[in-house]
Structure 1
Amino acid sequence: MSAPENSPGNRPAEKAPLPRELRELREQLWGPIPPHERRMWSNALLDNPPTDLNTIGKLQNMQLYERDGIVMNRLWVAVARYWDDLGLTAYEWLLQRGTLVDIAEYKRNLERNNEPTDPWGDCPEQERREWTAATVKFPPQFLGATVMGLHDRHAKQTGITNSKTWIDLALEFRAAGFTPEEFIELNTQVRKFHKRGYENTLVTTTWGTRNIQYIRLDAQKWTNWLERYRAGEDPVELTKELLEPHWVSTQ
């Protein structure tokens, strides 16, 4: 016979409330930053630690983080407070660390002359949206789970990425004559022909955080593919033919 619904053994484990002293310390450390933003900052700091921690520091940090998603290291929280005081969110902090567009510099330029440099150049808005969708589908590199998640969410919400790495990829292929749809087709086909233990000189790769390798094609190496694809050749056979002479064993 099944146990009663209200049986203590069936109840989910409840977390013990934080001691009052720890709650007060957390409020003192994080100050005016609201809880949901504290969690965003905690994720960003864990992916991009501002300082090294000893074993005890890591344990204490993760014990609290795993409980409610908020880190408690004083130096780490100080980094969040510093940038928050300057008006930057956790996402913008990740951007200004050099992986994406420098939001801090963007804001300073905006305050100086109200005419900041547009990383998209003369690319029309609709094309920016189409290229954003294409490069989110085939990103140029891996920047950590938090950065990738924040970037993709921002790109989908606004429709236009503000990541310099993603924008550079889009503009490179645009300058070589590709449309976003052709960029997607090329990247889709190239990924079908990966060979374990081999590299291909036509396939450029990038190394992101945690040594995750990403395919990041060089547009100029694929202009011949584009001409023949537009002439009506089958993209599968065309891609296979162009890749075939360029496989190099790594074993």
Structure 2
Amino acid sequence: MANILVVDDEMGIRELLSEILSDEGHAIQLAENAQQAREARAQGAPDLVLLDIWMPDTDGVTLLKEWQRDGLLTMPVIMMSGHATIDTAVEATRIGALNFLEKPIAMQKLLKAVQAGLTRAQETVRAPALAPRPAVAPPPEDGALAAGVPFSAAVPQAHASVRGAGATAGEGHMFNLSFDLPLREARDAFERMYFEHHLGREGGSMTRVAEKTGLERTHLYRKLKQLGVEPGKLAKKNQ
């Protein structure tokens, strides 16, 4: 059983979601506006929050930003709306929302999203400290490769140096990637470097990065969230 906070200014939506989730064995808290949601969060973090975007006092995206700013976004949040644009949904995902449900919400979609959110929360609690990201390493001396020194001798054992593809002279980045990592971790590390490289070159523009990488924007945002890459911070760093 999980403790789920439902935040929506429409009484019918609150009652419907409460009934469905209660039938699944969850304990439900209800809030009809952002202030009630703040008060509920102050009493302790729920296991999951279903948060409406359009509310009369403070909209859900603004509330999400408040929680993120104050270090209170420690639980999965699923955004809901019947009128939000894709840009609004993407913005919420960038801030830290786990998912977005469009109203009217189909029951199976609701239950699937809630289960995924609760599973993510449990994995976060059980997960050990994350391994540090691959460190940036200086490139091997040009003379070493020019002289025909084998690649394995120019790079530390069980590591590969990867230069940002397509970088012009002076803007390439050299990363140290261990071959001893499990395949999935090595792939995630490379993808993180790849997207950080393109975000840096494009000044954080998601539109241009999507074009460069051949990904649809929503898919790109989900991928960056999965990898822990924050476009906003990279854009500021490169200004």
Give TM-score scaled by structure 1 length: 0.22
Structure having the higher strand fraction is 2
* Higher relative contact order structure (alpha carbons within 8 Å, sequence separation ≥ 6): 1
TM-score by length of 2: 0.22
Which of structures 1 and 2 has the bigger CA Rg? 1
Q: Normalized per residue, which structure has more helix?
A: 1
